[in-house]
Amino acid sequence: MESSTPQDKVRVRFAPSPTGFLHVGNARTALFNWLVARHFEGSFLLRIEDTDAERSRLEYETQLMADLRWLGLDWDEGVDIGGDYGPYRQTDRYGLYRKSAGLLLAKDRAFRCFCSEEELERARQEQLARGEMPRYSGKCRHLAPAAIAAQLQAGTPFVLRLRVRPGTVGFSDLVYGRIEIDTVQISDPVILRSDASPTYNFSVVVDDVAMKITHVIRGDGHLSNTHRQILIYEALEAPAPSFAHLPTVLGPDGSKLSKRHGAASLEEFRLQGYLAGALVNYLALLGWSPPGEGKEIMDVAEIVARFELSRVSRSSAIFDSTKLDWMNRNYINAMPLPDLLQHALPHLVAAGLIMPEPDARVRAWLELVLDAVRSHVDHLDQLPRECAVVFGFPGGLPALEEEARAILAEPGALRVAREFERLVAEREVLTLDAYREIAGLVKQATGQKGRHLFHPIRAALTGRGSGPELDRLIPIYEEGSRLGLPRRVMPCRERLAAVLGLF
C-alpha cells in the first residue's frame, strides 16, 4: 500500500471470535487495522465472528468492545452502532451465506458432498497409512444428476464443497510477499456444513466482499487459509482485497505468548494500572517500527501519521514485559497530575488509603503525593506500596528499614536526628522554610553536613534509607496529617518521635 491516498476509500475490519478475553496478539491486530483506517481516513469495522455456537459468549463480546474502547480504538461500523453493510454479527448473516453458497452451487462452482463422516475418516486413515497427505478424495465431485436426486430423495445429509480448480493460486501479502501454491494441495473445502452453517473460510470471504473490505490485516496464523479464501473470491467473481499477515506475538522464551508470560488479557493490564496510551504505543511497536531514528515514545496521533504496513516486519514480535513497564513508566511520569490522579484513585481507594470522591483539598494533596512517588512505579497498582512512605507507620509503629537503622547507627547520626527532632517539636507546623532553617541550626550544633546531616534526618522522618526528596515529603506529611484521611498520615513531629523512640 502506498502512503499516498489510495483511490478507493480504505475499509478494514477487526473480526474477533468472542470465545475468550482480548489478549495482546488480538489487540495488536485490532490496533494495526485501526491505524491503517485512521492513517488513510478510511473506515474501521468491528465484525463479530460468532459462528462457533459452543464457544462464543455474549460476555466476551461485551468485554472485547469495552477493551477496544479503553484502548481508544473506536469503530465506524459495528454490532452496536450498525452501519451501511450490516448486520455485523455473523450469526445474523446466515441467510446471506446460504444465498451465496446457493449461487455457487447453481454455477457449478460448488457441489454437494454426501460422504458420511465415517467414510471421510476411513479414507483419511487409508491415505495416512499409505504415507499420503490426507485430502478429500473427490468422490462426489462428479456425481450424475440422477445420483444426486436419489440422495436428496433419500434425505441423505450433505455438505457443500467448493470445486477447486486446477493450477496455481497465489496472492501478494503486504508483509510476506508473494505466496503461490498448486491447488492440488487444497482439498475441495467445505463451505456450508450439513446443518447449513457456514465454515470460517466461507463466511469470512462472503462478509469481506459484502462489506467492501479493501485490506485484510490479521495474524499470520491465517496465512494457510488465504489460498482457500482466494479461490472463494474467484468463485464469487469478486476481487480479492490486499492481505497483510502480522507476525505472531511470542513470549521472551520464543514460545507463543500465553498466560505463563504474565498478564495476557487487556482487562488484566487495565486492572494492573497500565495506561491505555502506553499500551497502544507498546503494541504499535510489536512488529512495526517507524522509519528513521528509532524513536519509541510516540503518542497515538504521531503513530497514526507515521504508520505504514510496508514497515511491518516478518520476524516474530517478542512481547517484553520489561519494555512495556519502561514505556508505561514514561507515560506515568509525563502525564499531567490531574489526569494521573484520575487513573490512580481507584488503586488508592481499593487499598483503603482514600475515600472515593475526595474533595478538592485532598485531591491537591494527592497530586503532591503522586508527583513524589510516580517515578518509582511501573504500573499504578504499585502506587499503594510506594505510598507507604507517606501512609506508613500503621498503629504508630514504624517499620524501620535495615538501611535506615544502619544510617542511624553511624557515629553522630543519632545526635543529628535528636537535635532535629527537638527543634521541630518547638514548631506548630513544619513549613519548608522552617525545615531549611532547622537543618541549618542542626548543622551548626552538630558540625555534620551533606549526607551525614541529611541521611539521618531522612531515616528518622521516613524510617527508610532512601525515597522521595525531603522537600517534597515534609509538606506532604504536614498537610496530610490535617486532612482526616481514613489511613491517618502522621505529621513530622510524630514521625520523628515514633522512629527515635526505638533507640
Residue from 39, 49, 269, 459 touching ligand GLU (CB under 6 A): that is 49
Q: Binding to ligand GLU by residue 15, rule CB under 6 A?
A: yes
Find the part of the chain contacting ligand GLU (CB under 6 A) among 9-17, 232-240, 351-359, 385-393: 9-17
For residue 294, the minimal CB distance to ligand GLU (Å) is 30
Q: Judged by CB, which is closer to ligand GLU: 15, or 211?
A: 15
Q: Contacting ligand GLU (CB under 6 A), which of 10, 16, 280, 300?
A: 16
Q: What CA–CA distance (Å, rounded) separates 416 from 422?
A: 10
Distance CA 86, CA 81 (A): 10
* CB of residue 171 to ligand GLU, shortest distance in Å: 14
- Using rule CB under 6 A, residue 376 touches ligand GLU: no
Site size toward ligand GLU (CB under 6 A) is 7
Question: What are 59-66's contacts with CB under 8 Å, separation 24+?
Answer: 60/18, 60/19, 60/20, 60/21, 61/18, 63/21, 63/22, 63/267, 64/16, 64/18, 64/21, 64/22
**Least distance (Å) between residue 241 CB and ligand GLU:** 11
**229 or 462: CB nearest ligand GLU:** 229
Considering the complex, what minimum distance in angstroms separates the CB of residue 38 from ligand GLU? Answer: 19
Our finding on whether 222 is near ligand GLU (CB under 6 A) is yes
Give catalytic status of residue 323 as yes or no. Answer: no
Nearer to ligand GLU, 246 or 369 (CB): 246
| Cell numbers at 479, concatenated | 498537610
Distance CA 81, CA 377 (A): 38
Please report whether residue 17 would count as binding ligand GLU according to CB under 6 A: yes
Does 31 contact ligand GLU by CB under 6 A? Answer: no
Q: Nearer to ligand GLU by C-beta: 16 or 78? A: 16
Single out the residue of 93, 218, 270, 374 in contact with ligand GLU (rule: CB under 6 A).
Answer: 218
Q: What are phi and psi of 48, to 5 degrees?
A: -95, 120
CA 33 to chain centre: 14
Q: CB 21 → ligand GLU: shortest distance, Å? A: 13
**Residue 463 binding ligand GLU, by CB under 6 A:** no
Helices (H) and strands (E) in the chain, counts: 21, 12
Question: Cell numbers 558540625 label which residue?
Answer: 447
Choices 15-23, 144-152, 313-321, 476-484 (CB under 6 A): range interacting with ligand GLU: 15-23
Nearest to ligand GLU of 212, 222 (CB atom): 222
Assigned C-alpha cell, 360: 478538592
Integer Cα distance of 296 and 290 in angstroms: 8
Segment near ligand GLU (CB under 6 A), from 10-18, 125-133, 236-244, 407-415?
A: 10-18
Joined together, the cell numbers standing for residue 421 give 527532632
- Alpha-carbon Rg for the chain, nearest whole angstrom, is 32
189 and 161 in contact (C-beta within 8 Å)?
Answer: yes
On whether the CB atoms of residues 230 and 238 are closer than 8 A, the answer is: no
Taking the C-alpha atoms of residue 189 and residue 412, their distance in angstroms, rounded to an integer, is 85
d(CA 32, CA 1): 14
Stretch that binds ligand GLU, among 14-22, 129-137, 337-345, 416-424 (CB under 6 A): 14-22
The size of the chain, in residues, is 503
Among the listed residues 24, 192, 204, 383, the single contact to ligand GLU using CB under 6 A: 204
Q: Which three cell numbers stand for residue 132?
A: 499420503
Tell the smallest beta-carbon distance from residue 225 to ligand GLU (Å). 7
Active-site residue, from 256, 259, 295, 449: 259
Instruction: Please say which residue, 222 or 452, places its beta carbon nearer to ligand GLU.
Output: 222
Nearest-10 Cα torsion for 318, 324, 325, 330: 140
Q: Which of 345, 302, 296 is nearest to 323 (CA)?
A: 296
Should residue 242 be labelled a site residue for ligand GLU when binding is judged by CB under 6 A? no
Catalytic residues: 259
Binding site for ligand GLU (CB under 6 A): 15-17, 49, 204, 218, 222
